[in-house]
Structure 1
Amino acid sequence: MRPSVCFCKQMQTTAYEVVNGSYVPIRDTKQPINVNVKDEVPVAVPAPLEGVGAFQKLPMVMPSVDILFSALKKARRVSATKGIANIAKRERNRGAKQLDALMKELAVPLRMYKENFPNKKTLHPYERSLIELTLGDGNYEEVLRRVDTLRKRVVSVGKEHASLCAKSLTKREAEERLDEGRKKIEEIFNSEGKAVDELMHIAKTLRAMPVVDLETPTLCLVGAPNVGKSSLVRLLSTGKPEICNYPFTTRGILMGHINLSFQNFQVTDTPGLLRRHDEDRNNLEKLTLAVLSHLPTAVLYVHDLTGECGTSPSDQYIIYKEIKERFGDHLWLDVVSKGDLLTDTPVLFITEDSNSDTSELAKYRRVGPDGALRVSVMTKMGIDELKTRVHELLITQLSIIKDGSTEEVEEKVVVPKKQFH
């Protein structure tokens, strides 16, 4: 016998339509088309933008004590199957059914928590950062793992003792097996139920996080601690952050809203930044960097040259240069706060050496960055102009967001040679 040679040509499964004399693939909305044709250029399809708001969809978590009490109460109401005349058989049937019911009443909510709390990897990068910085890196996953471990132990012990109860030979033995199984499940839930209480605290913490709408222009106030960001947020928006004369008054991300010309905008107040490397920053500072890194915000950078904030103008200048270099692609507006307290003489801290100043730093000490707007919350100096500039900034950002959402991605499809005749 001679071997036969068989030639197989790959079947084309992509559907095309003719547009202006060219072949254009028809999009499949159900699943992406996997094309594997030689000499064809792969089409780059951009990944869809992940949304935010997962924290508001978290389930309500009951305290572990309430879950156990409710499960015990419901399980005790379970009766034996009707029609069993033998006392021993009836008692072991009742005991097995009660243990099975107790197991299910405890396992069902635990399974629901595990399934409805999102995987951190699937979250928007901003919300992922909030989890890590607010709860600690790895704590979120660890608590969910412990809740699932508790569920598995309850199911295992419940099935084991329900089986033992079903094999009882006497009424007394069935009752003892029932009591033994119930006590064992209670001990496990009481000792390991703290994971449920921790998950309840996590849910409350995350649900309290401010919701940022990616389709709504957002103004983010940035600067060193105590430079007046919170005062400006109260003045510009509906947000009511705490205002005190000490560093790190803002202990999280605070949101407010601005309504200008019948349009709604968002304003966020962020914790202050100090002059240090990223690895040395605390979680409050990292929250600010997370907002700038993962959200499409316009930046209102606030400078305090009066010396009242506790961070020297020289340090503020270094912080500002670093942040402006890293996030200069954001829409940007510089503001010098507490303008009513400024004098013609630049503020010098005892640790500073004015003789080593560059001309740029010396100018910054006097008037701040080029184009900075000088304002005062106390005297309302420059506030009207600030509101106008902020409105213009947000309108510009709104147009950018709209252009980005409606812009179509151009795709080039190369049809393999000799594919069509």
Structure 2
Amino acid sequence: MRGAFSLLESCQIPCTRFLSTTFRFSRGCYPMQRPIKHNTLCFCRNVQTFTREVVKASYLSTPQTKPSKHTDQPSEKVESIGAFQKLPMVMPSVDILQSALRKAKRVLPTKGIANIAKRERNRGAKQLDALMKELAIPLRGYLENFPKRIYLHPYERSLIELTFGAGHYEEVLKKVDALRKKVVSVGKEHASLCAQSLSKREAEERLNEGLEKLQEIFKREGQAVDNLLYIAKILRAMPVVDLEMPTLCLVGAPNVGKSSLVRLLSTGKPEVCNYPFTTRGILMGHIAIDYQHFQVTDTPGLLKRCDEDRNNLEMLTLAVLSHLPTAILYVHDLSGECGMSPSDQFMVYKEISKRFGDHLWLDVISKCDLLKESPVVFITEDGEADHLELAKYRKIGPEGAIRVSVKNEEGVNELTKKVHELLMAQMGRISSKSVQDSVQVT
């Protein structure tokens, strides 16, 4: 002991404090206290401390580990694409309530209770507890299995925001969690009251009161569960995109013939109608070339306006181009039948080609059978008639563009060949990127 006190005195701590050392033996504890006074300066800022325990006349060190800085932070990571297909099946709120009531009413009191009042309050408390759990457990499962938006792939994050609006997904999950907490709180409260009943009649009254209260809460706020069911239904129906599979994305103004080309080139069967914005979302098809599989996406049309004025359908197209590794098949309609002038199409084309110029690219002029007739002339085209590049675009479209007519199958073979070459090049780009990523990881 004298050596231990000498060691502490050598630390030169300028204060008076009591050292309390406790030796633990198999029979009792013996505290020893001794005042130590120091008036000298301290030269060491940090003193490492440790504890030792006496066990059978030997010292065993007990290391004191510092808590990790990240213990309170979630260990979740960014999900790979395809999280929507892993969403749990959500039951309608009415079905959850009816199932919970049936199971709760089948709960019996604990066997062996002879006193009627005790048996009744035991039954009531157990039934209320069972109903509370049957309502809360499914809600907790939904909250645990619906991914947080911040951990989703950027493409799927954009789909949620553009489909349901900013913040709606999080708001619905928040309401489901609030409903779960309220059910647990009210259920525990009424189960406790029922367990404190003094008579059989009082126990029955508190049981009925608790059942009615839980039903009232779930019926009034169960709409949050139904909203979550709707979200899950919509998200699960979203097309699955494979990031490792080369993808061809058809882009252009509304009603230029993108959907018709998707039906022609792939297994996709989008709706084809002669009016703008027929495509209301991302539609997926597939192409098989020499036992290799490729994806083809049909996207909503883009209008001539800034991003702040674009609707959610247009933003969905930009999200595909921004977050997915796609090759672009840009479709032009110089006939004027689509309802958007070639001049406006040219402006949108220049903007998209500048923004996504790093993508592999192929230009197609659709409805070329109509170009043999006199094209529609728009008044808006006269203002820039002296622009050489625009004038050239009105006549022949972009340089190197393929002219195609789905109606008489003109240029279809050439387009198919070019699309296959484009997809094979895209596959080579994806493979080289995967190799680079693996090298960086190692």
The DSSP-based 3-state class of the residue aligned with 2:269 is coil
1:49 is displaced (CA, Å) by 8.3
CA contact (8 A) 2:78 2:152 kept: no
Q: d(CA) in 1 for partners of 2:103 and 2:178?
A: 23
Equivalent position of 2:191 in the other structure:
162
Normalising by structure 2, report the TM-score. Answer: 0.82
Pairing 1:326–2:355 present: yes
Match runs of 1:77-92 below 5 Å: 77-92=106-121
Match runs of 1:343-358 below 5 Å: 343=372, 347-353=376-382, 356-358=385-387
Change (3 A) 1:291 1:362: same
Q: d(CA) in 1 for partners of 2:332 and 2:216?
A: 58
The DSSP-based 3-state class of the residue aligned with 1:241 is coil
Q: What letter corresponds to residue 242 of structure 2 in structure 1?
A: D
Equivalent position of 1:370 in the other structure:
399
The DSSP-based 3-state class of the residue aligned with 1:333 is strand
Equivalent position of 1:100 in the other structure:
129
Match runs of 1:17-416 below 5 Å: 51-343=80-372, 347-353=376-382, 356-407=385-436
**Which structure carries more relative contact order (alpha carbon 8 Å, separation 6+)?**
1
Change (3 A) 1:369 1:169: same
Size of the alignment, in residue pairs? 374
Q: 5+ residue gaps in structure 2?
A: 1-11, 13-39, 47-68, 70-76
Q: 5+ residue gaps in structure 1?
A: 9-33, 35-47, 412-421
Q: d(CA) in 1 for partners of 2:348 and 2:226?
A: 41
The DSSP-based 3-state class of the residue aligned with 1:189 is helix
CA contact (8 A) 1:50 1:123 kept: yes
CA contact (8 A) 2:336 2:375 kept: no
Normalising by structure 1, report the TM-score. Answer: 0.86
The DSSP-based 3-state class of the residue aligned with 1:352 is helix
1:341 is displaced (CA, Å) by 1.1
The DSSP-based 3-state class of the residue aligned with 2:132 is helix
Equivalent position of 1:20 in the other structure:
none
Q: d(CA) in 2 for partners of 1:101 and 1:4?
A: 62
Q: d(CA) in 1 for partners of 2:78 and 2:114?
A: 65
CA contact (8 A) 1:344 1:366 kept: no
The DSSP-based 3-state class of the residue aligned with 2:331 is strand
Q: What letter corresponds to residue 352 of structure 2 in structure 1?
A: I
Which has the larger strand fraction? 2
The DSSP-based 3-state class of the residue aligned with 1:264 is strand
Which one has the largest radius of gyration?
2
The DSSP-based 3-state class of the residue aligned with 2:110 is coil
Deviations 1:224-266 (A, max 9, x none): 0000000000000000000000000000000000011111000
CA contact (8 A) 1:346 1:366 kept: no
Q: What letter corresponds to residue 219 of structure 1 in structure 2?
A: L
Q: d(CA) in 2 for partners of 1:95 and 1:407?
A: 65
1:379 is displaced (CA, Å) by 1.1
Percent identity, aligned pairs only?
73
1:129 is displaced (CA, Å) by 0.3
Q: d(CA) in 2 for partners of 1:195 and 1:408?
A: 42
Change (3 A) 1:349 1:82: same
Q: d(CA) in 2 for partners of 1:346 and 1:121?
A: 49
The DSSP-based 3-state class of the residue aligned with 1:275 is coil
1:275 is displaced (CA, Å) by 0.4
CA contact (8 A) 1:346 1:365 kept: no
Q: d(CA) in 2 for partners of 1:400 and 1:7?
A: 58
CA RMSD of the aligned region, Å? Answer: 2.0
Q: d(CA) in 1 for partners of 2:302 and 2:156?
A: 20
The DSSP-based 3-state class of the residue aligned with 2:372 is coil
CA contact (8 A) 1:61 1:113 kept: yes
CA contact (8 A) 2:107 2:126 kept: yes
CA contact (8 A) 1:51 1:214 kept: no
Deviations 1:4-29 (A, max 9, x none): 97799xxxxxxxxxxxxxxxxxxxxx
Q: d(CA) in 2 for partners of 1:204 and 1:265?
A: 26
